[in-house]
Chain A
Amino acid sequence: MMSGGASTSILTIALLIALNLLLLSLLIGLIRAWLGPSVEDRFSAILLMGTGGVAMLLILAILLQVTALYDVALVLALLAVVGTVALTQSERNHD
C-alpha cells in the first residue's frame, strides 16, 4: 500500500498521524463554519480550510513522494486568498 513512500516506517506512521490530526483540526473549523453567527465567522473558517489544506498537501507530497502536490498546494493557497478577497468585496455591493 505504501510502496514508494517515505523511507522508514516510523516516519510513515508519524506522518499519517499528523494527517489525521490536521483533518481533525479542519473538522473543528467546519463546526465553526456551521455554527458561525455572522458571515465573517464563516469567512474565518474558510481561511483555516485554505491553510490546513496547504499543510495537508505538503505532508501528502512527502508521504507519497509526489512532487506535483507542491504545485497543487501553491494553487490552493492562491485560490484561497482570491476567494476570500472576492467574497469580502462582492458582498459590499449587494447591501
Chain B
Amino acid sequence: MTDTLAILAIFSGLFFFLSGSIGLLRLPDLFSRLHALAKADNVGLALIALGVIILEPVLINDIKIVFIWLLVMAASAISSHLVARRALRENRKHG
C-alpha cells in the first residue's frame, strides 16, 4: 500500500518533469519556456520528493528532503527571475 502510494507520487512527478522538458523544447519563445520549466521544477520535484519521503523510514532524512525541496523552490524562482530579467535587458539593449 505504501509502495503503491509512493510509486503513484513519483510517476505523477515524472509526468510534470516530462511535460516541462517537452515544453522547454517545443514552446516558441524564452518566457513561455521558463513558464514550462517552473512546472517541472516546483510540482515535479515536489511530487518526487513526496514519494521518496513515503519510502524513507528515517525521520531526519525526511526533514532533509523537505529542506532540499524548499531550497530548490527558492532557487528555481530566483534563477528564472534572473534569466528573464537578463533577457529583458538584452532585448532592450539590442532590439
Contact = CB atoms under 8 A, between A and B. Distances in A.
B72 A77 contact: yes
A48 B10 contact: no
A14 B24 CA distance: 26
B7 A28 contact: no
Contacts of B34: 44
Interface of B: 3, 6-7, 10-11, 13-14, 17-18, 20-22, 24-25, 30, 33-34, 37, 40-41, 44-45, 48-49, 52, 55-56, 58, 61, 64-65, 67-68, 71-72, 74-76, 78-80, 82-87, 89-90
A38 B30 contact: yes
Interface size bracket, A side: 35 or more
Given A29-B24, A48-B21, A48-B40, A70 B48 contact: no
A28 B79 contact: no
A47 B79 contact: yes
A10 B40 CA distance: 26
Given A21-B18, A22-B14, A28 B24 contact: yes
A81 B30 contact: no
Given A28-B24, A92-B86, A18 B11 contact: yes
